[in-house]
């Protein structure tokens, strides 16, 4: 999640936002971040043009780098235990999760489904694209008109929290008496709307 290690000109503002939010999520839930080395940077240097695996990385020397890095990471896992996941970046030739710019031997698309060549060495470990991992603020829009519904909402909120989602539960905002004035109703409505504007996901 270090933009300085990426190829020249490919990092957008949305990428920087996602990197920051992913780090924020880990810190919020006390998850240790273990940065992985970037094989492309080690092989081609920081200041490099974007390219596919077949164009510039399909060499014996690069395969050796991947092998050595995998051994180093396996050693870390042996000491620390299995990680929650690997956070990758879609489209990367090495660290793509769902898509990768592998290249094409014919006139087909250079982009294909699947992991990049580095993450593909760790198929035993879940991998999540950074854009997906960075979306963790959840607005739980659920009925709350009975005690049973409220208990279910609290249970579901707990399940989401255990999976590292930060949950906004409307029933916890403001007093819940049967009678309240128009000002109190407006304040609660405003609070919910403000929270909703900052959410990544709505569960309803």
Cβ-based neighbours of 39, under 8 Å, separated by 6 or more: 57, 62, 65, 66, 69, 94, 118
Q: How far apart are CA 165 and CA 35, in angstroms?
A: 22
Q: Above pLDDT 70, what percent of the chain?
A: 96
Q: State pTM to two decimals.
A: 0.84
Task: Compute the half-sphere exposure of residue 163: CA atoms within 13 Å on the CB side of its CA.
Answer: 11
User: If we measure between CA atoms, which residue out of 198, 87, 82 comes closest to residue 139?
Assistant: 198
More confident residue, 180 or 121: 121
Please report the DSSP string for 91-121 in residue order. Answer: B-TTT-SSEEE---SSSS-SEEES--TTGGG
Q: Tens digit of pLDDT for each residue in 125-177?
A: 999 999 999 999 999 998 888 899 999 999 999 999 999 999 999 988 765 55
Residue range(s) in the chain whose domain bears CATH number 3.40.50.450: 137-203
Fold observed for domain 137-203: Rossmann fold (3.40.50)
Confidence of residue 2 (pLDDT cuts 50, 70, 90): confident
pLDDT value at position 175?
Answer: 57
pLDDT value at position 105?
Answer: 74
Q: Tens digit of pLDDT for each residue in 46-73?
A: 889 999 999 999 999 999 999 999 999 9
User: pLDDT averaged over the chain?
Assistant: 92
């Amino acid at each position: 999640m270090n933009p300085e290690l990426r190829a020249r000109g490919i990092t957008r503002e949305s990428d920087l936002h996602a990197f920051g939010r992913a780090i924020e999520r880990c810190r919020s839930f006390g998850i240790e971040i273990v940065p992985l080395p970037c094989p492309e940077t080690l092989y081609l240097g920081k200041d490099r043009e974007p390219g596919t695996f077949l164009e510039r990385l399909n060499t014996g020397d690069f395969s050796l780098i991947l092998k050595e890095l995998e051994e180093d990471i396996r050693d870390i896992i042996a000491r620390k235990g299995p990680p929650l996941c690997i956070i990758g970046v879609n489209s990367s030739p090495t660290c793509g999760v769902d898509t990768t710019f592998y290249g094409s031997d014919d006139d087909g698309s250079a982009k294909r489904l699947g992991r990049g060549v580095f993450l593909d060495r760790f198929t035993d470990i879940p991998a999540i694209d950074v854009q997906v991992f960075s979306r963790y603020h959840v607005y739980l829009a659920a009925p709350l008109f009975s005690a049973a519904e409220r208990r279910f909402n609290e249970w579901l909120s707990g399940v989401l929290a255990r999976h590292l989602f930060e949950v906004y539960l409307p029933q916890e905002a403001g007093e819940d008496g049967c009678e309240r004035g128009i000002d109190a109703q407006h304040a609660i409505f405003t609070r919910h709307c403000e929270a909703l504007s900052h959410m990544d996901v709505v569960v309803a």
